């Protein structure tokens, strides 16, 4: 199975971002990828909630999703739009993945569960919950031999979330992201490899990279990791581009057979001793 990560540097214009994404998707399809994933916030990277909301249509109906569905059908590929900003019926904004089939139809959507509310050592402060409303469900898409666990960016720091997906059958995780440059340098590769090793699963992780119009800096370095924690393919930069690799799903089954921790996991009682 040939898969691809699309690395982007999305700005404030949804139209420009969509055009850039479509060109990179076409490039990946031209290299033979049958599954293509774009990063978090493909359609807009904007920390200003009012500005972001003002340009979004009410309750869905994003024209960029129509465009992405058309390109999926044109090339006959399965396309994961890592996430878009989209209004819900209640007026809040979701950070939402769209999984589109080779016929252009929507297979699944997933709203990011874990919000990036942090204060970093360099003084950077992020309150994603001030812009987006979190989701409340995990999603596995059945793509034949591929059982695709959908996650977005900060979800990566919650191993139990991935464990639950793996226990429910996921053998491939997608982690579209807009990791900050600081946290990316420190933790991106380590966390991706850990989630792969812990669960005997492939990890496909397309990222945003570079300096964005809203002032943030993201890490890029999109990666495809195997179920033994090995690098299958990776970018060593933050510039827009395409990363393509072949994966063998039998490797996930083999890794789980060698180290059957999913089957051998046990629940235990935690005893807190007095201090």
Catalytic residues: 40, 112, 153
Using CA atoms, how far apart are residues 238 and 50, in angstroms rounded to an integer? 28
HSE-up (13 A, CA, CB side) for residue 115: 15
Query: Of 53, 46, 54, which is closest to residue 10 (Cα–Cα)?
Result: 46
Read off the tokens for 3: 């898969």
How far is it, in rounded angstroms, from Cα 161 to Cα 181?
24
Find, among 242, 248, 232, 243, the residue nearest to 189 by Cα: 232
Please name which of 135, 76, 144, 64 lies closest in space to residue 104, comparing C-alpha atoms: 76
Q: Could you give the angle at the alpha carbon of 214 between the alpha carbons of 211 and 215, nearest 5°?
A: 50
Two structure tokens written together for 48: 């200003």
Question: Residue 87: exposed, middle, or buried by beta-carbon count in 10 A (0-12, 13-18, 19+)?
Answer: buried
The DSSP secondary-structure symbol of 128 reads G
Vertex 25: Cα angle to 187 and 57 (nearest 5): 85
């Amino acid at each position: 199975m040939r898969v691809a990560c699309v690395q982007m540097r999305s700005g404030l214009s949804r139209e420009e971002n969509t055009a850039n994404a479509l060109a990179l998707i076409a490039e990946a399809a031209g290299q033979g990828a049958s599954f293509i994933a774009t990063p978090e916030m493909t359609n807009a990277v904007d920390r200003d909630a009012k500005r972001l909301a003002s340009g979004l249509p009410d309750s869905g109906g994003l024209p960029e999703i129509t465009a992405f569905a058309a390109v999926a059908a044109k090339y006959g590929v399965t396309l994961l739009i890592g996430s878009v900003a989209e209004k819900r019926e209640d007026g809040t904004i979701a950070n939402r993945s769209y999984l589109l089939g080779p016929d252009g139809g929507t297979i699944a959507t997933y709203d990011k569960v874990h919000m990036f509310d942090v204060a970093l050592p360099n003084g950077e402060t992020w309150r994603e919950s001030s812009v987006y409303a979190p989701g409340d469900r995990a999603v596995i898409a059945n793509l034949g031999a591929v059982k695709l666990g959908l996650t977005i960016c900060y979800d990566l720091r919650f191993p139990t979330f991935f464990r639950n997906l793996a226990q429910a059958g996921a053998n491939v995780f997608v982690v579209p992201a807009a990791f900050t440059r600081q946290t990316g340098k420190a933790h991106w590769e380590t966390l991706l490899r850990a989630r792969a090793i812990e669960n005997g699963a492939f990890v496909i992780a397309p990222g945003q990279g570079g300096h964005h119009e809203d002032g943030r800096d993201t890490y890029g370095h999109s990666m495809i990791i195997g179920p033994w924690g090995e690098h299958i393919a990776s970018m060593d930069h933050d510039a827009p581009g395409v990363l393509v690799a072949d994966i063998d799903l039998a490797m996930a089954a083999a890794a789980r057979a060698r180290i059957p921790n999913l089957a051998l996991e046990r629940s235990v009682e935690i005893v807190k001793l007095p201090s």
